[in-house]
A and B are shown apart, each in its own frame.
Chain A
């Protein structure tokens, strides 16, 4: 990550401000998904473990609705070639990754705030643990979504294939993150959650390394 990838991120950011393509869709998706859950829950009290699971369900589908934009928009408009002419593959992947990381953090923060307001069972006892797992979980989510988005964009398949391809890859991360969220609800200490935290951190590191190694193959036809 260097100033070049940061410039690429700024380009995407400015472009996003002008077109509002991803942000509007993501914001609406969050509202729709949470309302559907609220309607189906009705007046019933749902357990903490269900709340933790539903929290990650919304996060997963929101990510799937917006994060493919980073590469699909370039491929759709034909500007992928332009990018190839001005930057090395690693620069491009870093730039897109920064954009997606920021997007993931923004949307997941909104989702977390909405959950803590709207769901009674969403009470975090160990906030530090929640925050740590939230940060590492978000990074892992962004990394995997970005590399799968690159595949999707080159495959020319829009929308439907994205969650299909991402789910098996994200499953270990999501399962562990659900577990960590439940630990944070129960106020379990760092000491007892260290195995799960180690899994999430190593997931991030391994996915990041693999993505940088494999991106060249995807990007250069």
Chain B
């Protein structure tokens, strides 16, 4: 069970003078799978980026707590795993090199056992030493899951996790979501019915438009 909690208070984001959402509130403090849903352009990606601390909200804030202690902004990246279609890894390196570099830049140990387990799970173990530019888009999407999970994060944010994946890939993602949802907070932003069905609690963005 996790002691991690993520909470939004009075969250507002506008681009220029265009409002994306207003006065958004939620609190997730138990392990589980949670969803963010809304039509295209409703700000799903914007919201997950704000939660991950990549962009700043216009008003309000996101509070990340671990053991009732606030996580400092500069440390946040080590508690979060993030997957999205617009995430790009370094194509001139192989999967193994990519993961190795990320561990070093994060300043965490390269957990070979866990990474090999994940590589096997996503059927990439055989090709771990090939350069990323030789991969298909579905394979790249699977590498991103390993990138997101390699450092055992407490908060896993999945933005459209099943795009570009075949049925087999989708199944391993769902398996993994259930598995991680037992002990960590998993946040899925998606419109896919099958993705949203996994979630116990859902934030509907169209409710925060004014």
A125 at interface, CB cutoff 8 A = no
Answer yes or no: B92 CB below 8 A from chain A CBs: yes
Residues in A whose Cβ lies below 8 Å from that of B54: 81, 84-85, 220-221
Q: Which residue of B lies closest to A19 (CB)?
A: B92
Q: Is the CB of B87 within 8 A of A82?
A: yes
**Main SS of chain B's interface residues?**
loop
Interface residue ranges of A77-98 to B (CB < 8 Å): 77-79, 81-91, 95
* Contact A88–B55 (Cβ < 8 Å): no
- Choose one: A85, A87, A221; the contact of B52 (CB below 8 Å): A85
Given contacts A87-B105, A91-B105, are A78 and B88 in contact (CB under 8 A)?
yes
Give A15's nearest chain B residue, CB to CB.
B92
The answer to whether A79 touches B77 (Cβ under 8 A) is no
Determine chain A's interface SS by DSSP, over half rule: helix
Q: Is B183 an interface residue (CB 8 A)?
A: no
Chain A residue at smallest Cβ distance from B131: A18
Q: Mark B84-113, 1 if CB is under 8 A from A, else 0.
A: 001111111100010001101111000000
B80, A220: Cβ atoms closer than 8 Å: no
**Cα(A210)–Cα(B86), bound, Å:** 31
A sample of 15 more A-B contacts (CB under 8 A), given A11-B104, A79-B90, is: A4-B104, A4-B105, A7-B104, A7-B105, A7-B107, A10-B104, A78-B87, A79-B88, A85-B52, A85-B54, A85-B77, A88-B74, A88-B77, A95-B105, A220-B53
Q: A85-B82, A221-B56 are in contact. Are A79 and B105 (CB under 8 A)?
A: no
Residues of chain A lying within 8 A (CB to CB) of residue B101? 7, 10-11
List, in ascending order, chain B residues with CB within 8 A of A87's CB: 77, 105-106
Contact A4 B107 (CB under 8 A): yes
B residues in contact with A63, CB < 8 Å: none
